[in-house]
């Protein structure tokens, strides 16, 4: 088995691109296949090395590793040979209508209630007529001659699919300037590079009918096809430009975990729950096209953020030790275990480093209450039993209980209204800082 992901280096990868790459990667690795990265860099005006490097950087960061890499810009001789072979077979023919003439033809057919299908007028031209057109400066574009038959295939996601090619215009494969459109190089590459499965969004279903005929004209065979539902916004509408172009690069720079992105994109639109998965190998093991529904998959950046937090809460001390060190927030495994359930991003750990080792501004809602609490502090070093003993004494002395008891103490001792278990945090703050903070002193 071999699949391919074929991005064009004319922009940055976004979540829609990565979903296509991920579906291909998970499927082939679940079946011990190979993943081909094909750089579609034939748009010499818009393609850049910077975008190409960005594609490779994003895929590597996400853990989507390719087994082979190919560049379309280096394969023009192969496309030229396929072009010549199709022309010799009478399946690729020159057309001389310009854009305005084709538009007039479409409007006339539409006004007559007929589908705007190309009428193949170019096939009726004599050699003399073609020469005359070329002598007048007309340059031909080339169309592939469809059979007009029904093309049937068993789609990996959608089941049996049928496309009636008699309802389609012969697709243009070569422009007037001689440049190839996407379809011919893509099909030639799939044949030449032995791609066995083409997996992509369902917006390509109709195109597949024509492409299967091109595959069979070139090689006599066809790959397997799978078309999965497209991403939509959380409101069910099509992705906006902002959301559709949400770049992987920007998410990486924001500190998003790659597995938060992959966990979401792998499970959206499936029968599996959308939850954080720590390793891509686990996504591979659980992947199956049978789990994908027919409804569009609803994407929201909020879900990425939610899974990112889940992954952080699942992280062991050894997994975050290096990041904590960079932040000067490594106070050991016990500290990490205490704060882990109460942070949303790794940078939040610095807040609790200050609470334990630094100076904070205590929040004193009731100075008299805090003065009484000071008299209840233990006389010796603090341990895991100290918080319970301390709060029981404060309760007996003040009559406060519940939130009225614990919240003023938390705010005074940590400068925060929410946070880790005070029973575990209290000993790390220590007796001296606790007394100073209950007195309202910055410490």
pLDDT in tens, 405-436: 999 999 999 999 999 999 999 999 999 999 99
For the stretch 44-65, pLDDT in tens is 889 999 999 999 999 999 999 9
Q: pLDDT exceeding 90 applies to what percent of the chain?
A: 94
For the stretch 268-284, pLDDT in tens is 999 999 999 999 999 99
pLDDT at 443: 87
pLDDT at 233: 84
Distances (CA, A) of 380 to 70, 269, 315, 376, 396: 70, 58, 34, 12, 20
pLDDT at 330 over 60: yes
pLDDT at 202: 95
Return the minimum-mean-pLDDT range out of 243-257, 310-324, 384-398, 403-417.
Answer: 243-257
pLDDT at 401: 95
pTM equals 0.89
Average pLDDT over residues 339-361: 95
CA distance 141 to 128: 18
Q: What is the DSSP string of 55-109?
A: HHHHHHHHT---SEEEEGGG-HHHHHHHHHHHHHTT-EEEE---HHHHHHHHHHH
pLDDT at 240: 57
pLDDT at 219: 96
Average pLDDT over residues 109-128: 94
pLDDT at 438 over 80: yes
CA distance 79 to 67: 23
Mean pLDDT taken over the chain? 95
Strand stretches in 260-324, DSSP E: 297-299
pLDDT at 246 over 90: no
pLDDT at 146 over 70: yes
Average pLDDT over residues 218-231: 96
Rg (alpha carbons) of the chain, rounded to whole number: 32
pLDDT at 242: 52
Task: Look at residue 265 and give its three-state secondary structure.
Answer: helix
Residue with tokens 């020469």: 131
Which residues contact residue 278 at a Cβ distance below 8 angstroms, ignoring those fewer than 6 apart? 259, 311, 314
pLDDT at 90: 96
pLDDT at 243: 52
pLDDT at 232: 87
Average pLDDT over residues 4-14: 95
Average pLDDT over residues 289-316: 95
- 176 C-beta neighbours (distance < 10 Å), count: 16
pLDDT at 236: 72
Q: What is the DSSP string of 216-252?
A: HHHHS---EEEEEPPEEETTSSBPPHHHHT-BHHHHH
CA distance 325 to 366: 37
Average pLDDT over residues 23-52: 95
Kindly list the structural domains of the chain, giving each domain's residue range(s) and its CATH number in brackets, ordered by start: 78-174 (3.90.800.10), 317-357 (no CATH), 367-438 (1.10.10.350)
For the stretch 161-175, pLDDT in tens is 999 999 999 999 999
pLDDT at 235 over 90: no
Query: How confident is residue 380, by pLDDT bands cut at 50, 70 and 90?
Result: confident
């Amino acid at each position: 088995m071999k699949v391919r992901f074929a991005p064009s280096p004319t922009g940055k990868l976004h979540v829609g691109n990565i979903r296509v790459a991920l579906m291909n990667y998970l499927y082939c690795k679940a079946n011990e296949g190979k993943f081909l990265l094909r750089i579609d860099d034939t748009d010499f005006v818009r393609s850049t090395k910077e975008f190409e490097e960005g594609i490779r950087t994003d895929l590597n960061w996400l853990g989507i590793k390719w087994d082979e890499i190919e560049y379309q810009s280096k394969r023009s001789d192969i496309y030229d040979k396929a072009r010549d072979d199709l022309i010799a077979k009478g399946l690729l023919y020159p057309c001389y209508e310009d854009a305005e003439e084709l538009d007039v033809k479409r409007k006339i057919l539409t006004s007559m209630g007929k589908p705007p299908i190309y009428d193949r007028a170019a096939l009726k031209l004599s050699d003399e007529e073609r020469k005359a057109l070329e002598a007048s400066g007309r340059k031909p574009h080339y169309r592939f001659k469809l059979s007009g038959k029904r093309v049937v295939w068993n789609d990996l996601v959608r089941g049996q699919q049928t496309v009636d090619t008699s309802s389609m215009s012969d697709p243009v494969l070569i422009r007037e300037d001689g440049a190839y459109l996407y379809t011919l190089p893509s099909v030639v590459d799939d044949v030449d590079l032995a791609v066995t499965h083409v997996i992509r969004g369902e917006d390509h279903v109709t195109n597949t009918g024509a492409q299967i005929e091109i595959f069979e004209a070139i090689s006599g065979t066809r790959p397997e096809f799978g078309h999965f539902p497209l991403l939509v916004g959380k409101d069910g509408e099509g992705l906006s430009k902002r959301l559709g172009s949400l770049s992987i690069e920007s998410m990486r720079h924001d500190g998003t975990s790659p597995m938060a992105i992959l966990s979401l994109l792998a499970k959206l639109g499936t029968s599996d729950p959308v939850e954080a998965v720590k390793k891509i190998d686990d996504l591979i093991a659980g992947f199956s096209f049978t789990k994908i529904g027919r409804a569009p998959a609803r994407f929201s950046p909020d879900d990425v953020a939610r899974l990112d937090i889940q992954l952080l809460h699942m992280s062991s001390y050894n997994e975050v030790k290096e990041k904590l060190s960079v932040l000067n927030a490594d106070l050991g495994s016990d500290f990490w275990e205490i704060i882990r359930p109460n942070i949303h991003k790794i940078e939040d750990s610095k807040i609790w480093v200050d609470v334990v080792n630094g100076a904070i501004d205590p929040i004193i809602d009731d100075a008299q209450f805090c003065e009484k609490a000071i008299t209840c502090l233990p006389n010796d070093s603090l341990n895991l039993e100290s918080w319970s003993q301390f709060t029981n004494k404060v309760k007996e002395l003040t009559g406060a209980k519940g939130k009225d008891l614990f919240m003023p103490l938390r705010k005074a001792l940590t400068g925060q209204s929410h946070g880790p278990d005070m029973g575990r945090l209290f000993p790390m703050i220590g007796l001296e800082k606790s007394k100073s903070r209950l007195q309202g002193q910055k410490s």
